[in-house]
Structure 1
Amino acid sequence: MEKFGQETWDKLSSLPGVPDSFMTYTVYDDVLTVSLVQEASSLLDVSAEVLLKLFGEHFFAFCKKAGYDTMLRTLGGNLTEFIGNLDSLHSYLALSYEQMNAPSFRVEMTDDGKMLLHYYSDRKGLYHIVPGIMEAVAKDIFDSEVTMTIVNQSEEDERTGKKEHVVFLVKQTNHVNHRGKALPGTMMERCVPLAGEKHRLDRAVVPSDQGSLLCTFSPRYPRKLWVDEKAFCNTFPFHIVFDENLKVRQTGVNIQKFLPGLHARDLTLDQHFTIIHPQVTFTIESIRKFVNSQFVLKSNKDKHSSLKLRGQMLWMESLGCMLYMCSPKLRSLQELQDVGLHLADLAQHDVTRDLVLLNQQRLAEMELTNQLERKKEELSVLSRHLEVEKEKTETLLYAMLPRHIANQLKDGKSIEAGEFEVCTILFSDVVTFTDICAACEPIHIVHMLNSMYSKFDRLTSIHDIYKVETIGDAYMVVGGVPVPMVTHAHRVANFALGMRIAAREVTNPVTGTPIQVGLC
């Protein structure tokens, strides 16, 4: 509506199958989305690809207005990090939008320094939204220009069926800052430009072999890992280590408690778990392809007690094993109970503890929001119905009373009887009306009178005279009442001439000839 106007949306919303309103936490079928895009494309004479890209730009602006601005700005320090954390953001939003079917993103840097964005989704035909979002993100958050070109498009067979795979070539052009200067080269200079000389002192006391405060910081790794096996398994009770053949090599204590058979000699990890997100096959090759994505695994227990794990995959080249550092994926305290866990089973450092408690309150707020939206929509519908009924009432009121008197009654004012010394009154009736009534069906009489009175009523508006009453075939009007006027007699006379002409267009149901009207 902001770009193409209310009239365009009214035309689209009038299409069959389009709901009167859209609720925030309600899931709508992609068939409806595609249908709306196609109809809008035809209506506006704009290609569907352009519309989807515009939708992507608008969606980013909508997310900012909806309060996700700070969250989006903290996803990454550059566009590559931002894209790499989109799957994590979608996982978080799934706590609120439980049935959300979000795409997966993966960034690949080629040997010649080019950035390729891999887009995976089982919702076909929506990939043109991505350039719109990314260009808006780059411009608003990273002060740069981005152009995206499709270099490959295919369908891949995954565990859940065919998945659309689109590869974009991303070209980014950075801008200078508002003062016309390039951004500082070090993290310290960017973060604390007003800190005086303190950062130089900090840099001086950091030994050269123990790291650096510059952007070229290199981590210092210990020669020996100062954590024993028992402490590690207790501290990270939900981790899993497995090899290239998916054979489990190590697990946290709570994984062992929940799945005691996980270390069986002939069993592999895919026999105990299913990958829920990203939707890929359970092989080392597929997992390594999405190693920067957040992985959600679901235990293959019965439906009511299955455990979902959410975490990060880390490939350990020296051991030839994959470390899955994870924690239970829970939305509420009820889910915690359903899988047979307690808050005590979550490590003290695990933010899942806080997340479950906070989301418990958030779910209650969401339900209140849903109820508020439903009531708001019901109120809107009732308001529209009330306006329609109000218009009908006003039409009936104006048909019975002069408009200015009706308006005074609507305003709650009392109307006193008035006296009009000079006015003109006209009476009319249908000649031989009694004989006509005796010779034909009542419905024919009704049709004749409706036709005649409709024409006469239109004449009263033209000549600005007041219809007092209609009884049967009798029609009474008055000029100069209730608004006094000098030309009342002329107006009534002209009305009478108009009645004669209008009567010729009304047919006598008995004879089939025009009716005759008597005037006095």
Structure 2
Amino acid sequence: MHGHVHLCLREMVLKKYGEEVWQAVLKEASLDDDNDFMLFHYYDDKRTISLVVAISNNTGLDVSGVLESYGHYFYFYSTSCGYDRMLRTLGKDFHTFVQNLDLLHSLLALTYKGMRPPHFRCEKKDGKLFVHVFTVRPGMYPAAIGMLTEVALQIFGTRISMTVVTRKTGEIFKQKYCEHVITEVKVLEEQKIAAFTGEDQLMKNHVESKLQQLAHARENNVVAVPEISLNTALPFSVVFDKNMFIQSAGLHLKTLCNEIQEEGAKINDIFEIKEPEMKFEYDAIMSCNSSYMYFFLQPKVKTLNGSPPKSDCPVLRGHMVPLEEKEEIMFIGTPHFDSLGDLISSTTYLTNIPQDNMTMEIMFMNEQRRADVEMSKKLDQTTADMKKLAAALDQEKKKTDMLLYQMLPVKVANQLREGRTVEAEKHGNVTILFSDIVTFTNMAALCHPMDIVKLLNDLFQRFDQLTTKHDIYKVETIGDAYMVVSGVPEARDDHAIRMSNMGLDMIQDTNHVINPVSQKCIQIRVGIHTGPVVSGVVGTKMPRYCLFGDTVNTASRMESHGLPGRVHISDTTYNQIRNVGYILERRGGVDIKGKGIMDTYFLNGVSDDFNPSRITNNSDIIKTSTEPKQLEEKSPAATVAPTVTEPKSSSFCSVM
């Protein structure tokens, strides 16, 4: 269906039920709020039906109720689009309005290509008014009922009811329609309203005056025009009797359609009624109020004897005027062309069209209108495409932001996104952790490279989850080395506790990662140190958040001088967490390369009386001198110097 239908349904739901219901409707119908609601686009009926069903499911109305509500609302939607004046000029009463709806649809079809509107016809029988509705879409007739009842109320001030009398489905009018519904119209209440005002009233008065003059002239035989003069003045007219035999025809029509001049020619053997959908018979034409209807006659594809037509006559548009005194009907028409292209492809020229006829003006205006519609259609499509691109750009921006936040702390990343320079920053007290895999070099030499990649991916994904759990910033990884920091860039008092918990969890998680060589759980060394650092962003193409200072180097030494499967901490870290409730083991003085003798500790776990609130305040930390000290007297276990591996060279930024 046309985009107007989708737009009207959207407006109706938003106005009556709100945005939340509309979003639920879109989700259920799997429709896009931009691409499926463009004014000059034509959508498959399946989309429209799915939209109607979704509205029904989310509003509590049955499908017929949704369609009838749509019909009522469509009147107000049409008036908001500027069609109210056009609607008010279709007829002086409800009967003639319905009769002329097909004319309105035929004019709109010039602009809205692909329209397949319903066909309407009125019938008066036994003092009752019946409206026939023919449609290609079975089950859609409630929309027509809603629209017509609203028109009767708003334009003619009459409250009516339309009751379905019969409903027939199947092949109707040469398979063009598949449903025929007959409704009986009953007047419930009439009101006096000013249906016409201003220019509309002047137009109504003018039309009624002309009709009265014609009726008076016909009744009193005021005008008597010779047949030859009439055929010249009305070059595309044709007169036929009640048996459909042609009595006379206009000069141009005779030229274009030679069959008309044949003796005994019947009008319904040469032409068929294209619109409105009805049988081309004398009684059928007389039964409807044909003076208010436009008829479209088109040459038949084949004549009665099965041969192709001998003429190249265009489609004719005009009125059927009953000549009751002779039991004849005169069709007064003119060639009908949708565009200049149709005119060029025919054998008709502008000189064949009467100059006082509006066909040329309508045709030229339609060309301009069609160009405007195409431009509007392209604009709609461009707007929808731009919205798509904007949404895609927003998604890519989110992905970029996520990547940036993974590379840099949120505070620093936001500064870079805003185009601000990130200045180097001093941090008085932070805690840094280093870890690496024991015998990783030997393992890498004996394994396939893909096994090493899988191992590191598995291990580091587990560690990354721990950084989220403990709200710790991951600085970087190089090879099997993993570096994290707490207290940067946002200062926090519990940085040492968070890092201690991180180290214990890392040791625990290695029990789930298998060495591809030995098929046993891998082991890691973990080293932690607390102290001051300077942070900053280095580089522009690939910006990196780096830490500088002796604290970085000391934390690396804690890891390299540690033992497999143990968390090795410095005395500054120990001083911060000693009262919290961790299980700590004094290792004693260890000869740290480049540092001399340092008191260090092993963090073995958490005791039952663990209480993070007992953390030592930063100002109370016992600052440990990095100057070499003499080894103190200790138990043999404490004085036995561990096997210290040579600290591996690292590209982690530090100041030695």
TM over 0.5: yes
Separation in 2, partners of 1:71, 1:459: 70
**What CA RMSD, in Å, does the superposition of the two structures yield over aligned residues?**
3.4
Find the counterpart in structure 1 of residue 618 from structure 2: none
Contact 1:159-1:279 within 8 A present in 2 as well: no
Shift of 1:88: 0.8
Shift of 1:129: 1.4
Find the counterpart in structure 1 of residue 259 from structure 2: 261
Contact 1:21-1:377 within 8 A present in 2 as well: no
SS at match of 1:413: coil
Deviations 1:416-449 (A, max 9, x none): 2223342211112334444554565544544443
Find the counterpart in structure 1 of residue 610 from structure 2: none
Shift of 1:375: 1.7
Contact 2:237-2:253 within 8 A present in 1 as well: yes
Contact 2:257-2:312 within 8 A present in 1 as well: no
1:135 and 2:152 aligned: no
1:78 and 2:76 aligned: no
Find the counterpart in structure 2 of residue 348 from structure 1: 355
Find the counterpart in structure 1 of residue 533 from structure 2: none
Task: Name stretches of at least 5 consecutive residues in structure 1 with no aligned partner.
Answer: 177-181, 193-210
Find the counterpart in structure 2 of residue 202 from structure 1: none
Find the counterpart in structure 1 of residue 553 from structure 2: none
Contact 1:249-1:263 within 8 A present in 2 as well: no
SS at match of 2:83: helix
Which one of 374, 377, 387 corresponds to residue 380 of structure 1?
A: 387
Mark the CA change 1:456 to 1:359 in structure 2 (over 3 Å): closer, same or farther: same
Separation in 2, partners of 1:316, 1:513: 108
Separation in 1, partners of 2:366, 2:224: 36
Shift of 1:21: 2.9
Shift of 1:278: 2.3
Contact 1:13-1:20 within 8 A present in 2 as well: no
Mark the CA change 1:137 to 1:444 in structure 2 (over 3 Å): closer, same or farther: farther
Count of residues in Structure 1 that have an aligned counterpart in Structure 2: 488
Shift of 1:511: 6.1
TM-score w.r.t. length of structure 2: 0.67
SS at match of 1:459: helix
Larger Cα Rg: Structure 1 or Structure 2? 2
Separation in 1, partners of 2:514, 2:65: 59
Deviations 1:192-227 (A, max 9, x none): 9xxxxxxxxxxxxxxxxxx999x9x98564333243
Separation in 2, partners of 1:232, 1:483: 98
Task: Name stretches of at least 5 consecutive residues in structure 2 with no aligned partner.
Answer: 1-9, 199-207, 302-307, 528-656
SS at match of 1:419: strand
Matches within 5 A, 1:285-300: 285-289=283-287, 291=290, 293-300=293-300
Find the counterpart in structure 1 of residue 372 from structure 2: 365
Stretch moving more, 40-49 or 233-242: 40-49
Find the counterpart in structure 1 of residue 634 from structure 2: none
Contact 2:35-2:384 within 8 A present in 1 as well: no
Matches within 5 A, 1:464-503: 464-503=471-510
Stretch moving more, 289-298 or 461-470: 289-298
Separation in 1, partners of 2:266, 2:66: 47
Mark the CA change 1:122 to 1:512 in structure 2 (over 3 Å): closer, same or farther: same
SS at match of 1:94: helix
Deviations 1:276-320 (A, max 9, x none): 222334333444455454321222478995511112223333222
Contact 2:40-2:376 within 8 A present in 1 as well: no
Percent sequence identity over matched residues?
34
Separation in 2, partners of 1:339, 1:500: 89
Shift of 1:9: 0.9
1:323 and 2:330 aligned: yes
Separation in 2, partners of 1:358, 1:342: 18
SS at match of 1:454: helix
Find the counterpart in structure 2 of residue 248 from structure 1: 246
Mark the CA change 1:447 to 1:132 in structure 2 (over 3 Å): closer, same or farther: farther
Shift of 1:507: 5.2
SS at match of 1:422: strand
1:13 and 2:30 aligned: yes
Find the counterpart in structure 1 of residue 277 from structure 2: 279
Deviations 1:244-282 (A, max 9, x none): 332211222221222133120143223322322223343
Mark the CA change 1:309 to 1:506 in structure 2 (over 3 Å): closer, same or farther: farther
Shift of 1:382: 1.6
Separation in 2, partners of 1:485, 1:498: 20
Find the counterpart in structure 2 of residue 231 from structure 1: 229
Matches within 5 A, 1:87-98: 87-98=102-113
Contact 1:212-1:218 within 8 A present in 2 as well: no
Stretch moving more, 316-325 or 37-46: 37-46
Deviations 1:150-199 (A, max 9, x none): 111114642345642101122343464xxxxx559xx9xx879xxxxxxx
Contact 1:305-1:338 within 8 A present in 2 as well: no
Contact 1:300-1:306 within 8 A present in 2 as well: no
Separation in 2, partners of 1:397, 1:276: 66
Stretch moving more, 331-340 or 444-453: 444-453
Letter of the 2:299 partner, please give it.
S
Mark the CA change 1:285 to 1:29 in structure 2 (over 3 Å): closer, same or farther: farther
Separation in 2, partners of 1:287, 1:441: 91
Mark the CA change 1:398 to 1:339 in structure 2 (over 3 Å): closer, same or farther: same
Find the counterpart in structure 2 of residue 204 from structure 1: none
Separation in 2, partners of 1:465, 1:501: 18
Separation in 2, partners of 1:134, 1:507: 77
Contact 1:13-1:19 within 8 A present in 2 as well: no
Separation in 2, partners of 1:446, 1:288: 89
